Structure 1
């Protein structure tokens, strides 16, 4: 019933999350898969991310680390004289690209279930839409829900990407508000 309220870009995000999960060999669809699929869409959420300096490749890179539980701190390793990028590059050259990444399970077919956190994020997107007085849930509502979903892989990834870009949650909310205003003005002018 809630899925009927999703706009085309929000639906594409949910469908895309399944594709991302498959591509990464995941057994379930997690919040980071929603975030990565959202960033690949052309909607208000993606334009707001771009306005804050966050790109899909940034999220892919940071999402892979969050999803794999990669807790290697490049700065801490550098203090010990270890350059993590050099280690990864040499390992990739010797053993193939992504050899340090968590191996995925390939060939998964059929329905991939959502994790509890991903389901909660989708429920939060409904709350975001209701809070704004919107009758439908768009990608911006999904983005705001992921931003609110503390402790999830998407929240960690999004927070890290915003920090890298020199922005924060408030900056992203502002960019999304500006995107919504410019979209509303464009519809009113038509």
Structure 2
């Protein structure tokens, strides 16, 4: 499916992992997809949100208000523990990835809670975020597009309808159905 994404849409998906890492969230949710979409303010579909006052920083603040950012790391930082420095010191001695969770099925189980900033490439997508990607494909097919563009990803966030991404949009006072119609209009 990823091969059907335009370059810009592919960048949105990849940047969502960076958004999650930047907020110290160990997963990629619909909110991270929304934040990544809003980092494309010139895209005609995203202009629908930005033109209504929902820009990247406004959405990021809403996500922080609703979820916070890596509270364990913040609490330890308050008492002078820099988790990133601890991680770097351990990896300098034991090798890169020494503190990573070896994954399900491994005989060796380590706790990865001490990682202050999960590596973006390892942030798992939530079921809702995966659903957004699936729905973006369905929206592309429904609209008879030959590819999945940024606007289709936004339609996927809207159509999923229950994640934090769509909640941020609705909490900003936007009518989700009106946004959907406006985004569809940008896709032709």
TM-score norm. by structure 2 comes to 0.68
Give the Cα–Cα distance (whole angstroms) in 1 for the partners of residues 141 and 129 of structure 2.
19
Give the Cα–Cα distance (whole angstroms) in 2 for the partners of residues 56 and 119 of structure 1.
21
Q: 1:178: how far off?
A: 4.1
Give the Cα–Cα distance (whole angstroms) in 1 for the partners of residues 153 and 183 of structure 2.
12
How many residues end up aligned between the 2 structures?
A: 143
Q: Which residue of 2 aligns with 1:20?
A: 19
Indicate yes or no: 2:59 matched with 1:59: yes
Indicate yes or no: 2:113 matched with 1:106: no
Give the Cα–Cα distance (whole angstroms) in 2 for the partners of residues 105 and 24 of structure 1.
13
Change (3 A) 1:107 1:64: closer
What 5-or-longer segments of structure 2 have no aligned partner?
70-77, 79-113
Give the Cα–Cα distance (whole angstroms) in 2 for the partners of residues 64 and 177 of structure 1.
29
Give the Cα–Cα distance (whole angstroms) in 1 for the partners of residues 2 and 60 of structure 2.
26
The answer (yes or no) to whether the contact 1:48–1:172 under 8 Å persists in 2 is yes
TM-score norm. by structure 1 comes to 0.68
Indicate yes or no: 2:152 matched with 1:141: yes
Q: Of 150, 168, 176, which aligns to 1:169?
A: 176
Q: Specify the SS of the correspondent of 1:151.
A: coil
Indicate yes or no: 2:122 matched with 1:123: no
Give the Cα–Cα distance (whole angstroms) in 2 for the partners of residues 7 and 152 of structure 1.
24
Q: Which residue of 1 aligns with 2:46?
A: 46
What are the superposed Cα offsets for residues 101-142 of structure 1, whole Å, 9 maximum, x if unpaired?
xxx952322421111111011101111111101111111111
Q: 1:9: how far off?
A: 1.7
The answer (yes or no) to whether the contact 2:158–2:180 under 8 Å persists in 1 is no
What 5-or-longer segments of structure 1 have no aligned partner?
70-94, 96-103, 182-190
Give the Cα–Cα distance (whole angstroms) in 2 for the partners of residues 120 and 51 of structure 1.
26
Give the Cα–Cα distance (whole angstroms) in 2 for the partners of residues 149 and 26 of structure 1.
21
- Is 104-113 or 133-142 further displaced after alignment? 104-113
Q: Which residue of 1 aligns with 2:73?
A: none
Change (3 A) 1:54 1:26: same
Give the Cα–Cα distance (whole angstroms) in 1 for the partners of residues 52 and 149 of structure 2.
19
Give the Cα–Cα distance (whole angstroms) in 2 for the partners of residues 147 and 68 of structure 1.
23
Q: Higher helix fraction: Structure 1 or Structure 2? A: 1
Q: 1:151: how far off?
A: 2.1
Indicate yes or no: 2:162 matched with 1:151: yes
